Structure 1
Amino acid sequence: MGYFADFLGSEQQDIGTTTGNDLRRFIIALQGKPKFANHPYNKTQQAKLSSQSIETYCRGIKAFFGFLKREGFTKNNIIEKVKMPKVPEVVIRTFSEKEIAKLLAQTNRGTNEGFRDYCIILTFIDIGIRLSELADLRADDIDYEQNLFRVMGKGLRERFVPFGRRVAKALMKYQM
């Protein structure tokens, strides 16, 4: 919201008179904005803001104007019809079997800590959850009968994530 407020201020306009066209002009201005502009430690780079960053800023602005309408500060959300910038879908590169084997070989399975690390890496690779979700897993979150983890995700949303036989075998051995 800060960038948008600065943008409106530079246009000598306040938030109460904002229109969808103002958001469109802001999007165009962001597309020319250098990455890390006004950052206290990072020098400005030649690269421009990514479309993902611009879309994130716009989502925040749209949420703010939705809040203003819901709370009765405005009669209608004048920005809700503005189309969000397109964000290219990025395919995340996965590890090869050889890379996974190398990673797992780095653990010393002969020690408690090494075997624990092996289990962590194996679980992380097998089920593909967020690091914070993995860190929050506890023994009672594991259902060995159905091979499911109970995972508390973003927004405190609980979900069940399946895991493979190899993970089950390693975790059972670790818990003994």
Structure 2
Amino acid sequence: MKWKNALNDYQLYLKIEKGLAKNSIESYCADVKKLIIYLEEEKIAITPLSISNDDIQQFIYSVSKDLNARSQARLISGLRNFFDYLIFEDYRKENPTDLIESPKIGRKLPDTLSLEEIDILISAIDLSAPQGERNRTILETLYSCGLRVSELINLQLSDLFFEEGFIRVIGKGNKQRFVPINIQTEKYIQFYVKDIRSHIAVKKGFEDTLFLNRRGQKLSRVMIFTIVKNLTEKSGIQKKISPHTFRHSFATHLLERGADLRAIQQMLGHESITTTEIYMHVDKSFLKEVINTFHPRK
């Protein structure tokens, strides 16, 4: 089996069997591609079926000087998943990464914004500019619904169920969920659709897309990152802020105010509760309040 064939099969497996999105597939395969490039540069003639633990160890050692501990751990994890796939398909009997220890890294807690910082960011938007109302609606939607960037830019007009108080979101692996939307954000969206979007010449194929650029097409991920970056600089907030920061803030603020962790998991679209549990480590101050309020021996 050649590396190219194995990688192509792996990509199909991630897409069809795992139902992963394009960005996730690219991320998984990037680690395998690094290994392939290394083997080609070093002129090492081994196949995916014959590569050994020592070969992988030498590869990790050769690239470790350019990677921090977290990146090394991510690389080892990516390779382990690939060889697990080969075992699953009965191409191999053992995983050559099993004896390789990942560097010990602390849990990286997500950055969050306070309510005041969110207000400052949004107030920095120039509402007199052509895209001002759209950008305010984007940030309000990111924060009030806890969306990923990909989920935001793919929102459709037909996903808005305001009478029921929900929006439909297509998350990772094409999985659908319904997220509650508050009245204020609903009003922003309705105003944007009625007074801003209605004046844009929509390109064919984007008639149902909610957020449009000035050319009448779907916004790109890069554009959302650029909007947030520019507003961060303009507001003077000294934090590293990305669109995902609004998602983290959404979950953290709900948890701090006593929301159930399972409910937050459903709204975020996390497959595992352990992913959501990271927010338990962001701010423990509210836990004392929970005990004082709900414990029978308070």
- TM superposition score normalised by structure 1: 0.68
Residues in 1 aligned to 2:82 and 2:57: alpha-carbon distance in whole angstroms: 16
1:127 paired with 2:159, answer no
1:143 aligns with 2:143: no
Displacement after TM superposition at 1:62 (Å): 1.3
Residue in 2 that maps onto 1:118: 136
- Residue 164 in structure 1 maps to residue 196 in structure 2: no
Contact 1:66 1:77 in 2 (8 A): yes
Q: Say whether 1:14 aligns with 2:46.
A: yes
Q: Distance between the aligned counterparts of 2:164 and 2:68, measured in 1? A: 42
CA contact (8 A) 2:72 2:103 kept: yes
Q: Distance in 1 between matches of 2:147 and 2:112?
A: 14
Q: In the TM superposition, what is the alpha-carbon distance from 1:94 to its structure 2 partner? A: 1.8
1:79 corresponds to which of 87, 93, 97: 97
Measure the CA separation in 1 of the matches of 2:56 and 2:70: 16
2:72, 2:102 within 8 Å by CA — same for their partners in 1?
A: no
What secondary structure does 2:108 align onto? coil
Q: How far apart are the structure 1 equivalents of 2:166 and 2:101? A: 39
Higher helix share: 2
Q: How far has the Cα of 1:160 moved from its partner?
A: 2.6
Q: Deviations over 1:89-113 (max 9, x none)?
A: 2222222333222222233446773
Greater relative CO (CA pairs within 8 A, separation 6+): 2
In 1, Cα distance between equivalents of 2:82 and 2:193: 47
Report the Cα distance in structure 2 between the residues aligned to 1:51 and 1:157, rounded to whole angstroms.
32
State how far apart, in whole Å, the 2-side matches of 1:75 and 1:152 are.
Answer: 37
- What root-mean-square deviation, in Å, do the aligned CA atoms of Structure 1 and Structure 2 show? 3.2
Describe the SS at the equivalent of 1:93: coil
Distance 2:44 2:132 in 1: 61
**Which of 92, 98, 106 is equivalent to 1:88?**
106
- Structure 1 residues 7, 128: CA separation in 2 closer, same or farther (over 3 Å shift)? same
Deviation digits for residues 154-174 of structure 1, max 9, x if unmatched?
A: 332223333323212222333
Unaligned runs of 5+ in 1: 35-48
Partner of 2:243: none
Confirm whether residue 105 of structure 1 aligns to residue 123 of structure 2. yes
Which residue among 78, 81, 99 is the counterpart of 1:60? 78
SS at match of 1:66: helix
Q: How many residues align?
A: 161
Distance in 1 of aligned mates of 2:132 and 2:80: 47
